Structure 1
Amino acid sequence: MNDLSDNDLSGNGLPQTLLAGYRNFMSGRFTDESLRYRELAEGGQTPETMVIACCDSRSAPEIIFDTRPGEIFVLRNVANLVPPYAPDGEYHSTSAALEFAVQSLHVKHIVVLGHGRCGGIKAALDSESAPLSPGDFIGRWMSLVAPAAEAVSANTLMTSGERQTALERISIRYSIANLRSFPYIDAQEKKGHLTLHGAWFDISTGELWVMDRKTGDFIRPSSE
């Protein structure tokens, strides 16, 4: 197959910035790690860690944790939320990814990664914001944390920024609690085969705060 020129590519719909990035990837990282990619293609993926992160373009876990191809299994949705276990026959993309990661890939760790200035969390705190569409999919999704959002919003002693950060971190604990509502996750954790983690990334400073699994507090790990 012949390589496509810039002129050939101009009408196929992909932004030129993506195509330029792909070329850089092929001449850089793919070349450097071609053996790794070949091994992954032939042997499949065996990541030990699943990361549940937000869709936000500023908080990509592969970049934050500087991982190699195949090292982490990533699920991204609005505000990195995990809904409770609900085997109701409906479509559940988050639950499907969890099922595959735990039951097929046998990951050893699940990390819920939140971040600062999350748009989904901001929407949850703004009860007067209008739906973005008649379906109000974001509003429905963020209703998962509605009780916590109402409680945080009612605290007038906190600034808007403090309320935002508080709910971002509360939602991480909420998602971890919901992870345990999945029978197979609860069983694997109790057997010591699976560990659940929470972390929060500050976009403006690059700081990573890790949730203490016993207390629920968020602390900064040592940089050493």
Structure 2
Amino acid sequence: MQSTDVQVREMVHKRHRRRRTLMVSLVAASVVGGAALLGVGLVRAANTAPDKAPSKVPADVSGDKAGLLASEGAVRVDIYLDYLCPECRNTESELASELKTMKASGEVRVTYHPVAFLDDRSSPEGYSTRAASAAACAADQGEFIRYSAVLFDKQPPEGAPGLSEAQLVEVGRDAGVTGDSFEKCVRDGTYTPWVRYVSDVTASRKIALTPTVTVNGRRIEVTGSDPAASLARAVKEARE
């Protein structure tokens, strides 16, 4: 059996060939190797951000068009996630209550960045992109948070086909999102170019793992025993 480090290097090289990105350093690859065993998503690093965003972007897009703005507040919280990443599912669940409280109190400006780092971990490839595009369609209906939570609840295993377009539409019903415009958006893959843009911008920021959470640009630990406490502590420090 190949070692985890070798597998990680091969995946990084594959992304380098397909997306013209740069290989993450051996140190980062080693970290990723350990994290991958825990269901963390990876992985790529790019030299520079793409020149411009696609013309079609979802509602509530952030100022740089590389995320979805979920709340306004004094402290900036950025959440980078991949819908095929098991640890992202765990983090979403662990942080949900704390984030809801912080957003309601106006403490934080939360931006979600749905990326597609794990596209080649579904068969056929591409589920991360399709799921993120569908989540952006839900944002047009004002239901990104609810839809995202249901997507994680129904997360397929790595190596599987992932949810079909019909199932992604059905997930919308579970999240209270209905209507022909949502269904058409999902089936057409309307936001596929935008998901690629978000992924490339994220990579250009040297973020090669999901989940990644930053507070005012500083990464915090969210894969430990109490990610909500880590978030609360970081936000408190940022406010002081």
Q: TM-score range by the shorter chain?
A: under 0.3
Does 1 or 2 have the higher relative contact order (CA < 8 Å, sep 6+)?
Answer: 2
TM-score w.r.t. structure 1 length?
0.25
- Bigger radius of gyration, 1 or 2? 1
Whichever structure has more helix as a proportion of its residues is 2
Q: What TM-score comes out, normalization by structure 2 length? A: 0.24
